[in-house]
Amino acid sequence: MSLVVKEKNHVRLVFLGAAGVGKTALIRRFLLDTFEPKHRRTVEELHSKEYEVSGATVKVEILDTSGSYSFPAMRKLSIQNSDAFALVYAVDDAESFESVKSLREEILEVKEDKFPPIVVVGNKAESGGERQVLAEDALSLVELDWNSRFVETSAKENENVLEVFRELLQQANLPSRLSPALCKRRETFPKEPMLRPPMNKTNSCTMC
């Protein structure tokens, strides 16, 4: 008797990191292709997209979390219910990189997994910008010691943002045919209807 293994059709990605490192900016750049330079405090926001892959619907949820440590129970719940993690720091803020180390330890503890699906993101890597965390130091720690993936990004200049989501989806073991780069549809953020682009009649986009 042969067993049929069903492909995963739902995944939740969570963005964690200190306040002001650009978690919301990365998600906004991916979903809306816009950048808002002013920091906006986030408690928790969940965004959802649906993709059609070979006739099956795949649902991708993106959870934007607070950078404040005032919500430990909420953060723990976010970790428990998520499939892959983006740990975001700012390259011009060494303290935010230390926060990433603490968050990774918390994920290991909550998920009880030595090698959880993590992508470490060094954001604010604008050309000519200030830098406190060297890319080679972060790369060595993340990929050699942690066996996780590392990407430097600039939400402001739209550098490597799609690469972050590709890596997260790969870590979450979604079908390899699913690539956000192929989906041009941008969805709005909650409570901001003025940003909503023209919507298709269906709440999905078809992947080639």
Please, are residues 19 and 41 in contact by the beta-carbon 8 Å criterion?
yes
Domain count within the chain: 1
Residue 1 is assigned to a structural domain of this protein: no
How far apart, in whole angstroms, are the C-alpha atoms of residue 25 and residue 37? 8
For 31-78, the pLDDT digits (tens) are 999 998 776 777 688 999 887 766 778 889 999 998 776 677 888 999
In this prediction, residue 38 carries a pLDDT of: 75
Q: What is 33-102 written as a DSSP string?
A: S----S----SEEEEEEEEEETTEEEEEEEEEE-S-TT-HHHHHHHHHT-SEEEEEEETT-HHHHHHHHH
State the residue range of the domain holding 138.
Answer: 10-206
Instruction: Give the torsion sign (CA, 67, 72, 77, 79).
Output: positive
Residue 3 is assigned to a structural domain of this protein: no
For 155-184, the pLDDT digits (tens) are 999 999 999 999 998 888 765 555 544 444
Any idea what the CATH number is for the domain that residue 121 is in? 3.40.50.300
Please, are residues 92 and 64 in contact by the beta-carbon 8 Å criterion?
no
